[in-house]
Amino acid sequence: MFTKHVSKDLSAYCNGELSPHDASEVAEHLIGCPRCRVVFEEIKLGVKLAESVPEMKAPDSLWLDLEARLDAQVGTDESSARRVASERSIRPLARIWQPRVLAIAATLILASGLGVIWFYVQEARPSWEVARLNGSPRIGSAIMNDRSRLAIGQWLETDNVSRAQIQVGSIGQVEIDPNSRVKLVQTGPTEHRLELARGRMSAHIWAPPRLFFVDTPSAVAADLGCAYTLEVDDEGGSLLRVTSGWVALQLKDRESMVPAGAACETRRGIGPGTPYFEDASDSFRQALSKLDFEPHDTEWSKIPALNLVLMQARPRDTLTLWHLLARLEGTDRSLVYERLAALSPPPPKVTRDGVLQLDDEMLTAWKAALESTWSNDSGLRKGWIKIWTGALGKVKGLEGKK
Ligand SMILES: [Zn+2]
């Protein structure tokens, strides 16, 4: 894994200019490094801006004038043929000056400069294909056929027996379970976004990190190349369970990174709780839930809850403890530090004072050192990175042939 940040490589990375080895190193770094992901997000934002360059219409008078001149050139005498030849040499330039072409050119220049993954441009469609798996799912107010399309802004709804499968372009599939309600919010080269208002969905996504998002009432799930289920209850709380890869859950500046085998709950108004491994004991999980979601007027109950979490933490539960550092304050934070350091001593240059002051670089370095104990599917993760760096390579090859 890269120990240094990869921001300077991101443009080359998005353009498929790195070797497969370097590209997978960058992808792996991106998963674990919030700082480089910020730069990655900026690159994507740049692409979006480029996409929004307005298209201007040429004035009708220009077209009329051009038409008149073309008609005038239909003459057959030698001098007009010569004039046609000379006008033809000018016309390509005139064409370049058409505002529409200018706008497209500006988009192209900006986008390639900023490093868009052009492969996904071809994915830009206003709707997704939906297949009926069971019962009678509805799109809008109409019962869907065996195959149908879900357009931006439309809701797909299942009753207590119906299920459906959504094809997310060529980057993945989402299964919608009974009693669920999902909306296609956005689909484009830099972002695919669903809203899950209630119910449960399972996603299998093989795209670069942070292309596929799911909005829920209490957090946003950002895909980092993975498979997961996400369930939203009637109160707007949700439960995320990751089966391979990583998912980030976010609300404002609160973020939980959830690896395979782990789960994370969210609550309306609070956002994501602390991730935990699903094989942790019930008492560990209940205590954690108290720490995450108990209202302030029952603060007293948090002391035994924290003690229990610290006492029961196993080496892989450093996932939970690492996240708790930033969520607790004062003595509680130093208690977490001591337990975390006892389970897995911080790497060189990561100091107690730095961690207690939530130094971003130190927290990231410690997390990188801990990750090997968190992921029992590092092979799988490497697998998906290979798949899509391979896909990028192929696209590069195809472009070369054009
Ligand atoms: Zn970095």
Pairing of strands 212-215, 191-205: parallel
Ligand 1 centroid–CA 30 distance in Å is 7
Ligand 1 centroid–CA 216 distance in Å is 28
- What global pTM score does this model have? 0.66
Looking up tokens 């996409």, which residue turns up?
51
Say which residues have a Cβ less than 8 Å from residue 262's Cβ, sequence separation at least 6. 242, 275, 276, 277, 278, 319, 374
HSE toward the beta carbon, residue 134, CA cutoff 13 A: 11
Say which residues have a Cβ less than 8 Å from residue 141's Cβ, sequence separation at least 6. none
> From first to last of its 402 residues, what are the pLDDT tens digits of the chain?
446 888 888 877 766 677 767 777 777 777 667 788 778 777 767 666 665 655 555 556 655 665 666 566 554 444 444 444 444 333 433 344 444 444 544 444 444 444 444 444 434 447 899 999 999 999 999 999 999 999 999 999 999 999 999 998 778 899 999 999 999 998 877 788 999 999 999 999 877 788 899 999 999 999 887 899 999 999 999 999 999 888 999 888 889 999 999 999 999 988 999 999 999 999 999 999 988 988 655 555 667 889 999 999 999 999 999 999 999 988 999 999 999 999 999 999 999 999 999 999 999 999 999 998 887 654 444 444 444 444 444 444 433 333
Ligand 1 centroid–CA 173 distance in Å is 29
Ligand 1 centroid–CA 38 distance in Å is 9
Ligand 1 centroid–CA 277 distance in Å is 25
Ligand 1 centroid–CA 368 distance in Å is 10
Question: Which tokens go with 66?
Answer: 């051009």
Ligand 1 centroid–CA 39 distance in Å is 9
Question: Which tokens go with 251?
Answer: 């609300």
Report the pLDDT value the prediction gives residue 47, as an integer from 0 to 100.
60
Report the pLDDT value the prediction gives residue 275, as an integer from 0 to 100.
97
Ligand 1 centroid–CA 363 distance in Å is 12
Q: Are 247 and 223 in contact (CB under 8 A)?
A: yes
Ligand 1 centroid–CA 2 distance in Å is 8
Report the pLDDT value the prediction gives residue 95, as an integer from 0 to 100.
41
Ligand 1 centroid–CA 10 distance in Å is 10
Report the pLDDT value the prediction gives residue 247, as an integer from 0 to 100.
92
Report the pLDDT value the prediction gives residue 288, as an integer from 0 to 100.
93
Ligand 1 centroid–CA 369 distance in Å is 14
